[in-house]
Structure 1
Amino acid sequence: MPDQPPPQHCPSSRELDDLELLTHGALAPLAGFEGPDGFVTLHVPTAIATAGREAGSLELVDPEGVPLAVVTIESTYPAGDLIGIRGAVTALAHNEFGAFRRLFLSPRQVREKYAAGTLTVPVAGALTRQDLDRIRGAAGGSPVILLALTGTGTPDLSAPSLVRATLVAAGHLPDAAVVTVPLASRGDAAADHELGQRVVAAYAPGAVLGVTGEGDYPDDVAAVVEHDRPPVDEQGLVLFFTGLSGSGKSTLARALHDVILEHGERTVTSLDGDVVRRNLSAGLTFSKEDRETNIRRIGWVAAEISRHGGVAICSPIAPFDSTRQQVRHLVGEAGGAFVLVHVATPLEECERRDRKGLYAKARAGVIPEFTGISSPYEEPHDASVRVDTTGRSVEAALADVLDHLHETGYLPEDA
């Protein structure tokens, strides 16, 4: 029987950052993904893990499907709904594209290029005048490496803006260069500190200096920061309505869409669950897997709209918390704001309305895995707004949503 080819898997943004550190030797002596107690982990769907165990390895690809590395599977372990993979990594290729890719050097390249007297400064936020004064004093005329830590969840600014701000700040120093390192956050301050120390030590040819980020920015650095942090009413925004079929979420979403259009200050796109299914997700079933795929597609499109300062209004059922969290994460990575609206109309009222006759068909067994009847709806505990439309006009229910958007500054009071 011929060897099974390894299955392909595209890791998360954090895992892709970790993969680059591993293949660049920035985590040496660690040469692969760790077990459940480690910092550098890889989690994959069960089907991928099963195929990987049969093949003995797993091929990791970038979002465009370009093979980056092979993981030799040494062991697996449960990781919530996913399976953790432990094993050594063998590089196949390095990323060739991405903003400031020329600045992504390996520790070996840095040590070959810079002498031991070079001062290394880890940078996770824009440098202030006070930071720059401290760097000048500590360097004493020696060269400086500004190590821009751009990994997922680490910088205060978007990754490209952090590098832009750091390049501008380097111009205020007599002899400074910028090196970019994709050090991702673990979401745990102690873990981030420990892993950060390991990575910075791998890159630093000499002494390391920490800075505080306190004080005011030079004018040219401040301009980069201001561009990356637009006012709230200009920030990309995703309004995500979730609720049972017949709860009124699509009605509220359409009404809000009209309000924003009439105000005329923002570009707005409606991503209704049924409309997206007919256009973007034609062919998907109503299985749990396909429903999650549909929501992820909606979330990806919405996040891209928010990346460019637009407003996206989404109104799928989105019954599963894990998928809603994935969408929230996508939007956050894109620099957008995420407002979750739970249209909490009770099942009894939704079934009483049953305008499309779906509940009757679900009760009769014609529609399998129907949310609220034969498939669960996981109520959100992190909704920004909760609306029950029972016995209320569209205008009254919409007012709950508009009140929140006015209070948070996402929409002006006259919208």
Structure 2
Amino acid sequence: MNAIAAEIVSAEHDALVPPHGGVLRDLYLPTAEAEALKRFSASLPQRTLNQRQLCDLELLLNGGFSPLQGFLGRADYDRVLADMRLADGTLWPIPITLDVSEAFAASLSAKAQISLNDTQGTPLAVLTVEEVYFPDHIAEARAVFGTTDRTHPGVAELLDRTGPVYLGGTLQGIQQPSHYDFASLRHSPRHLREWFRQHGWHRIVAFQTRNPMHRAHRELTLRAAEQVGAKLLIQPSVGRTKPGDVDHYTRVRCYRALLNHYPKDHAALSLLPLAMRMGGPREALWHAIIRKNYGASHFIVGRDHAGPGNDTNGRPFYDPYAAQQLLAAHRDELGIEIVPFPAMVYAANRDTYLPQNEVDAKDEVRDISGTELRRRLHSGESIPEWFTFPEVVNILRERHPANAREGFALFFTGLSGSGKSTLAQAVLARLLETGSRPVTVLDGDEVRRHLSKGLGFSREDRDANITRIGYVASEVVRHGGIAICAPIAPYAGARDEARQLVQAHGRFVEIHVSTPLEVCEARDRKGLYAAARAGKIKGFTGIDDPYETPASPELRVDTSQRTVTDAADVVFAWLKSEGLA
């Protein structure tokens, strides 16, 4: 499969009728026109896209999101929320939108064109803006995810990190995003379809995953392919998945090792640059449509497909088989056959894997959860061959060596005068007197003097300050260290952005120092609150600028009710209970 790119014949950039129905829309311009548009794009308003937006743009341009030809306008958006359909009635379950700030939207003229760029400033496409509209994010969360619980990563992204204005319009593609990793495994829908045609693959069952694959996954995919008489396409999401997931570099190495355990010429591996929303049933329907666009004739839907786990009350967000039921209800118009499959479990007495619904009372069922697997990797304890293959274990052990200490960040947030900096120093002392791990302190005032020098106190600058803190903390955590952060961090969205940055590499522990405002004012030695009350300081947190109270921090500590020593005891005891100290 690594030679796919070399075997593909070039194709014209027009609509392609795929082998299993529908039209594949490739939005890239021919070379000469793309070069002319690239030169023209330098004169347009510039927009640097974030990771989710870049993933969406790539799949819009290469046809993975066919039949879409750009970001949704209001009519399409409203109907997707209400009915999982575009305005013309086409089945489409997930809104694909370009969110921006109010300031950026206000700067645009009617029918403006925008250069959409990657993080290096490279123009990838030009968007002709046809609509500017204000969505209701709460209503969108309820419609798409069925909840407004921020424990759901898709909801947290939407409510806390998504801009308040959407731009709808059509796209013209200039060039593909650059990917320097696993280049031979990255294929457009057009290229993958052509490879299938050249190799005589007419029935292809696709498998979606965001985790390393083990023996149970191999058995499931083999049985599903055999059941429908198809070849197997393993197509993992490598754009963005759930926070805390194994990084895609490690996962892809595991997938490549696993390929050797399939029959020859039976399975192929290709990477999907998808930003998952973890939207359960709706997302499963979306995954099926995307795989149809990539040329698959069948799609495997397992238990709790694209589910994010449990809500704040410990209950699953979605019924485990809701996705299978939703896809079955739309099978006649999907254009791809659905292969529902139960979870596979290992029956030790039979020394084989079985579908969960075929297990009887005499079977001795064994399993290793993700948590248990991580524990065994950390401790160096053996991982049985019935669970996974030795090659996969070796790759996971390289990424997670035994007895290695995972980095983490302690993020103290609270009003000025709440005692967060003092508490952070007390916790720092405890960590240093009981261990030898490297600790980096990112105190709010110190960061302002050095890392964020030049930033003011507008909402935008405050968010930038917290993002910088989050980035530095993430680098400390990535190298196994401890970062202690103590900014005011008044806005939930910026705190959540810092969480996302850190959780890509380790634990993020939000500690809300919840000391009441009146106590903070009474402690004010610098007279800042008094100056703010008198109108001499504008935009002061807690007076004329809001502090958005953390909804679900890992810890909440009120220093008006405890001494600093007692509060540090609470924090340190929690760290010990979590194995972090």
Q: Which residue of 2 aligns with 1:184?
A: 275
State the one-letter code of the partner of 2:179: F
Q: Does 2:130 correspond to 1:74?
A: yes
| One of 124, 127, 130 as aligned partner of 2:216 | 130
* 1:18 aligned residue: 56
Contact 1:6 1:52 in 2 (8 A): no
Report the TM-score when normalising by structure 2.
0.65
> Residue 336 of structure 1 corresponds to which residue in structure 2?
506
SS in structure 2 at match of 1:86 = strand
Q: What's 2:187 paired with?
A: 105
CA distance in 1, matches of 2:56, 2:344: 25
1:405 corresponds in structure 2 to 575
Return the offset for 1:169.
Answer: 0.8
Write the deviation string for residues 193-237 of structure 1: whole angstroms up to 9, x where unpaired: 111001111113554455657552212223334555678983331
Deviation readout 1:233-256 (Å, 9 max, x if unpaired): 833312111101111111111222
Q: Which letter maps to 2:290?
A: V
User: Against the structure 1 CA distance between its residues 254 and 321, is the aligned structure 2 distance closer, same or farther, given a 3 Å change threshold?
Assistant: same
Give the letter aligned to residue 292 of structure 1: D
Aligned to 1:157: 246
Matched, 1:45 2:101: yes
1:154–1:373 distance in 2 versus 1, CA, 3 Å: closer
Residue 257 of structure 1 corresponds to which residue in structure 2? Answer: 428
Q: Distance in 1 between matches of 2:222 and 2:542?
A: 63
Tell me the distance in 1 between the aligned counterparts of 2:402 and 2:570.
23
What's the CA shift for 1:263? 3.4
Question: Which residue matches 1:62?
Answer: 118
C-alpha distance in 2 between matches for 1:379 and 1:130: 43
Shift, 1:128, TM fit: 2.1
Distance 1:350 1:142, change over 3 A: closer
The yes-or-no answer on 1:6 pairing with 2:95 is no
- Give the superposed CA RMSD: 2.8
1:359 aligns with 2:529: yes
| Contact 1:158–1:228 (8 Å) recurs in 2 | no
Query: Does the 8 Å contact 2:201/2:231 carry over to 1?
Result: no
Residue correspondence of structure 1 range 200-279 to structure 2 within 5 A: 200-209=291-300, 212=343, 216-226=387-397, 234-279=405-450
Distance 1:154 1:256 in 2: 30
SS at match of 1:409: coil
Q: Does 1:93 align with 2:179?
A: no
**More displaced, 230-239 or 264-273?**
230-239
Point out the more displaced range, 112-121 or 276-285: 112-121
Aligned-partner residue type, residue 511 of structure 2: V
Encode CA deviations 1:99-140: one digit per residue, 9 max, x unaligned.
323322101111112233464432412222233245445657
**AA of the residue aligned to 2:529:** Y
Change (3 A) 1:265 1:68: farther
Deviation at 1:34, TM superposition (A): 1.5
Q: Give the 3-state SS of the residue equivalent to 1:152 in structure 2.
A: coil
1:312-354, Cα deviation, whole Å (9 max, x unpaired): 111110111222222223333x142221101111122211221
- For residues 172 and 402 of structure 2, the distance between their equivalents in structure 1, rounded to whole angstroms, comes to 44
TM-score (normalised: structure 1): 0.89
Q: How many aligned residue pairs are there? A: 409
Give 3-state SS (helix, strand or coil) of 1:64's partner.
coil
Query: Are 2:258 and 1:169 aligned?
Result: yes
Q: What 5-or-longer segments of structure 1 have no aligned partner? A: none
User: How much identity, in percent, do the aligned residues show?
Assistant: 40
* Further displaced range: 55-64 or 107-116: 55-64
Q: Secondary structure at the match of 1:381?
A: coil
Q: Structure 1 pair 71/213, CA: closer, same or farther in 2 (3 Å)? A: farther
Pick aligned residue for 1:373 from 543, 550, 573: 543
Instruction: Find the partner of 1:32 among 70, 86, 89.
Output: 70
**Secondary structure of the equivalent of 2:132?**
strand
Report the more deviating stretch, 104-113 or 76-85. Answer: 76-85
